[in-house]
Amino acid sequence: MAIHLNDVSRTFGEYLLIPGLTTKLCVPPNISLRTPLVKHKAGEMPAIRLNIPFVSAIMQSVSGPDLAIGLARNGGLSFIFGSQPIESQAEMVRRVKKFKAGFVVSDSNLTPEHRLSDVLHLINTMGHSTIGITDDGSPNGKLLGLVTSRDFRAEKDDHTMKVKFFMTPFEKLHVGKVGLSLSEANQLIWEHKLNTLPIIDDSQRLVYFVFRKDYDSHRGNPYELSATDKTLLVGAGINTRDYKERVPALKEAGVDVLCIDSSDGYSEWQQETLQWIKQEYNGNVLVGAGNVVDADGFNYLVGAGADFVKVGIGGGSICITREQKGIGRGQATAIMDVAQARDEYLRKTGLYVPICSDGGLVHDYHMVLALAMGADFLMMGRYFARFDESPSKKLRIGNNYVKEYWGEGSNRAQNWQRYDMGGTETLKFEEGVDSYVPYAGKMKDNLDITLGKIKATMCSCGAVTIDELQRNAKITLVSSTSIVEGGAHDVILKEQT
């Protein structure tokens, strides 16, 4: 007969946190949500550390370049979805890396001989309203002028009009020279009341742009997750089929970390993928793996070289793996089991391998429970799919606005590469559904509320860091009747007007 585990497979909804001593230091401004993303030696800093413990799910309906930019600006990280052609995924990574609060290489350029129709097409394609006009239309050609939305009226001007007749010519531009520091560039922007400052070399060739909006935005995003060169950090999902072609392309595009995306990561295909990446790049490419739900899966992937391990099977809001295949584990039980294995690995080797909780989060307080139970950071799909920055469409259904949200295991995603079963290139049955989520508006507005709740809960637990929360938090199982007691009960609620 099968090996029978005696523990019950439990979810976050079956637990509550017990309050700890809230000292005078336990106030929200003192709470640090910084957490390691990748493995590191005990006592040393990891190569990447998140400023908030959130990463976005590797999903078509969640992690596009706009969300990756928005999340990185707020301290988290996105993994650009891998269920697309290699070049289009690499281009998404490049878009994120080019968006930085500092010196930006222009990717929207034309020549003076182009027409207004070309300008409008470029704006619609790239989403940028500032276009560098160079002699050859390249990002590093001789700068001859600039076009912004102030230079034309799309609804009235002749679309065949050449750029040279409405651009702001070089002679009227304020420019900076290569070698200028970012603070000096920003000073020029303020002195001349500019929105854009082109940076040129001694031959008048365009090198960078510096934007006022980046300076203002950076001040409003103190937790921004960026590299030493001011580029935002971004990850990307890969599979175990075309990794030998996909990884080099993503690396060339500037990706900072990879993650193998699979509904079940305890496989020889993931082992082979990890080992190839580590050998090919001499251990210099960071890559996570998963998903697993127990110590055996964790130890297997860590032994293969994983820099972090993703935990969770069947707990996502659009995942039906448990229903279809009968495999998985309650997310709370899975996290606690894998966290124990991670801590044991640390004691044996001196290496700390972070774990990511993926799925099973229904309420914001479940996030704190997941962290207290041992997760270093959380991967979320439904949470981020609701925002303006996600790639899916916003629709009106009845009196409500919603956004489309579909699983990577659904037929719509056509993501057969996610299933490490070998064989033919088809999806035999669905492990995810096609759905809607309530539209919630801008990411930052919602994120600030969620992070405020997490900090308040940590204060009640007497913890000012995630590490303290994991060491000192107390949790208790709850009965079905105490769950009812925890909500509004025995009253008649007023109707919302």
Concatenating the DSSP letter of every residue in 293-354 gives: -SHHHHHHHHHHT-SSEEE-SS-STTB-HHHHH-----HHHHHHHHHHHHHHHHHHHSEE--
Of 297, 327, 326, 325, which is closest to residue 311 (Cα–Cα)? 297
Q: Is 319 a catalytic residue?
A: yes
Q: CA-to-CA distance for 163 and 144, rounded, in angstroms?
A: 11
Is 10 annotated as catalytic? no
pLDDT by position in tens, the chain (length 497): 888 788 889 999 999 999 999 999 999 999 999 999 999 999 999 999 999 999 999 999 999 999 999 999 999 999 999 999 999 999 999 999 987 656 788 889 999 999 999 999 998 887 778 999 999 999 999 999 999 989 999 899 999 999 999 999 999 999 999 988 878 888 899 899 998 999 999 999 999 899 887 666 666 678 999 998 878 999 999 999 999 999 999 999 999 999 999 988 999 999 999 999 999 999 999 999 999 999 999 999 999 999 999 999 976 666 666 666 678 899 999 999 999 999 999 999 999 999 999 999 999 999 999 999 999 999 999 999 999 999 988 899 989 999 998 876 655 545 545 555 555 555 555 555 577 899 999 999 999 999 999 999 999 999 999 999 999 999 999 987 777 777 776 777 777 65
Cα–Cα distance for residue pair 76/245, rounded to 1 Å: 27
Q: Which of 246, 329, 382, 418 is an active site residue?
A: 418
Residue 215 pLDDT: 66
- Angle 321-326-329 from CA coordinates, rounded to 5°: 80
What is the per-residue pLDDT for 127?
75
Which helix H or strand E contains 469, and what residues bound it?
helix 466-472
Q: What is the pLDDT of residue 320?
A: 62
Catalytic position from the list 26, 259, 319, 459:
319
pLDDT reported for residue 317: 60
Q: What is the pLDDT of residue 327?
A: 81
